[in-house]
Homo-oligomer: A and B are copies of this chain.
Amino acid sequence: MQRVTPPLSGERFTVVYRFSGNREDAQAKAWEACIEQTVEFPYELLPAGDIPEQIIGRIESMDAVDENSYEAHISYAVEAAGYDLVQLLNIIFGNTSIKPGVRVEKFELPESMLSRFRGPRFGREGLRTLLNAPERPLLCTALKPMGLSVQDLAQQAYQFALGGIDIIKDDHGLADQVFSPFEERVKRCAEAVERANQQSGYHSFYMPSLGLRADQLLEKALFAKRHGAGGLLVPPGLVGFDSMRMLADNDELNLPVTMHPAFVGSYVTSATNGFSHYALFGQVARLAGADASIYPNWGGRFSFSKQECISIVAGSQDPMGHIKAIFPTPGGGMTFERMPELLEVYGKDVIFLMGGGLHRIKPTLVESSRTIREMVENI
C-alpha cells in the first residue's frame, strides 16, 4: 500500500459539475473527470493506496437535473489543489475544459483552503467606505471611445466626476496605445477626477484598465497608484486570474479591483461546457480578489438572461467563509430609461455601469451624470 508523503489530511473540497447525457453517459463523464482532473493516468495502473483512494476525484452524489443532464458533486483532496488559485482552477476545470458536455456549476471550499485566500480586499463594505456611500447603488462609467486623446479623456473624466459618477474607469479597450499612452492617461485622468472632487465634495475615483503586458502589469499598477488611481480594472481572461489575485493582494497597491469580462465569454456562452455565471462572475471573481465583477446585463448588447444575471448576484454574496461579498456590476448597453426596472431587480447593492448610455441623457456629461446620481440617491 503506497501512502502519500507527507500524509494527506483527508479534507476535501467539492466541485458541482453538470454533465450532459443520460445517467449512464453522465456517470461515465463524472468518472472520467475524477481521473482527468487529478492523476490523468490509467486507473488500473495506479499503485494501490492513497492515490486511487484519496488523490483521484470522488463522486459524492449524482442527481438528475432534467432528462438530459445530471449534476454530480465530485470531491478532491485539498492537497491536490496546492492551496493556490492556479492549481485550484486546474483541478476544477483544467483538462475537463476540453471535453464537451461538462460545466462547472459551483464549488465549495473548506476553511483550510479559504484561509489561504485573501479574497476581495475591500468588498462591498470597504468600497462603500471609500466612496462615502453607505447605502445607495453605486455608479460607474467608462472613458471612451478609443482614439480620443488623453486630454479629451481627462476632460470626460472631469465631467463625469463633477456630476457624481463614483467610479470613472477606462474603457477596457484603452491599453497603452499611441493615441492615449497609459502613463500620461493615468496621470491626467486621476488629476481630473481629483480636481472635480475638490469642487463637488464627492469621493469619486479613476480606475485605469490593466490589459497590459505580463512583465509590466505590476509596475504599471504601482505607477497608477502613485499617480492617484483609486482602483484597478483587470481583465483576467487576458492577463490571467491569478494576476488579478496578485494585484488585489498587493499591500503597496492597496486598491479595489474590478474584474472585466473581456475574453472570458467563451466560458459561459455554452450551456453545456464552461462555467455557470454564478461560479465565474461570482465565486471565481471573489477568490481572485475582485471587489466588483462586471458582466453584460440582460436586454443590452449581449445575451445573458435575467436569470443568469440574478445568479451572478447570488454568486457575489453567497457565504464563502471570510471571503467578502462583492458588487455585481451590470453593464453593456445600460440606459437611463431602464433604471427603474434595474433598481427593482438589483436593489441597492449594485454598481450600475453605464457607458455610451450616459452620453444620451442630457446635453452635457455633467448634467447626465447629475441626473443619474440624483436618481440613485433618491431611491
CB <8 Å contact, B359 and A45: yes
Contacts of A39 in B (CB 8 A): 144-147, 171, 173
Which of B86, B179, B238, B304 makes the CB contact (< 8 A) with A213? Answer: B86
The stretch that binds B, out of A10-18, A65-73, A259-267, A370-378, is A259-267
Q: Chain A 206-246, CB within 8 Å of chain B: the 1/0 string?
A: 00000111110000000000000000000101111111011
CB <8 Å contact, B144 and A40: yes
CB <8 Å contact, B269 and A242: no
Contacts of A146 in B (CB 8 A): 38-40, 51, 55, 80
CB <8 Å contact, B87 and A177: yes
Whether A299 sits at the interface, judged by CB under 8 Å, is no
State the Cβ distance, A228 to closest chain B Cβ, in Å.
Answer: 23
Contacts of A42 in B (CB 8 A): 356, 359-360
CB <8 Å contact, A213 and B356: no
The number of times this chain is found in the oligomer is: 2
Whether A316 sits at the interface, judged by CB under 8 Å, is no
CB <8 Å contact, A79 and B178: yes
State the Cβ distance, A32 to closest chain B Cβ, in Å.
Answer: 7
State the Cβ distance, A366 to closest chain B Cβ, in Å.
Answer: 17
Which of B100, B171, B211 makes the CB contact (< 8 A) with A87? Answer: B211
Complex alpha-carbon distance, A54 and B178, angstroms = 14
Whether A273 sits at the interface, judged by CB under 8 Å, is yes
Contacts of A79 in B (CB 8 A): 177-179
CB <8 Å contact, B356 and A40: yes
Interface centre among A176, A242, A246 (most CB of B within 10 A): A242
Q: Chain A 1-37, CB within 8 Å of chain B: the 1/0 string?
A: 0001110000000000000000000000000100011
Whether A84 sits at the interface, judged by CB under 8 Å, is yes
Interface centre among A41, A212, A274 (most CB of B within 10 A): A41
Whether A296 sits at the interface, judged by CB under 8 Å, is yes
Which of B215, B301, B355 makes the CB contact (< 8 A) with A32? Answer: B301
CB <8 Å contact, A176 and B273: no
Q: Chain A 72-97, CB within 8 Å of chain B: the 1/0 string?
A: 00000001101011110111011111
CB <8 Å contact, B262 and A95: yes
CB <8 Å contact, B175 and A239: no
CB <8 Å contact, B178 and A99: no
Whether A105 sits at the interface, judged by CB under 8 Å, is no
Complex alpha-carbon distance, A6 and B149, angstroms = 9
Contacts of A304 in B (CB 8 A): 98
Contacts of A32 in B (CB 8 A): 301
CB <8 Å contact, B142 and A40: yes
Q: Which residue of B lies closest to A39 (CB)?
A: B145
Whether A172 sits at the interface, judged by CB under 8 Å, is yes
Report 15 cross-chain contacts, Cβ distance below 8 Å, ordered by A residue: A6-B178, A38-B173, A39-B144, A40-B142, A41-B356, A86-B175, A86-B211, A86-B213, A89-B238, A94-B237, A97-B237, A97-B262, A98-B304, A238-B240, A238-B242
Nearest 4 Cβ contacts at the A-B interface: A240-B240, A98-B265, A97-B265, A39-B145
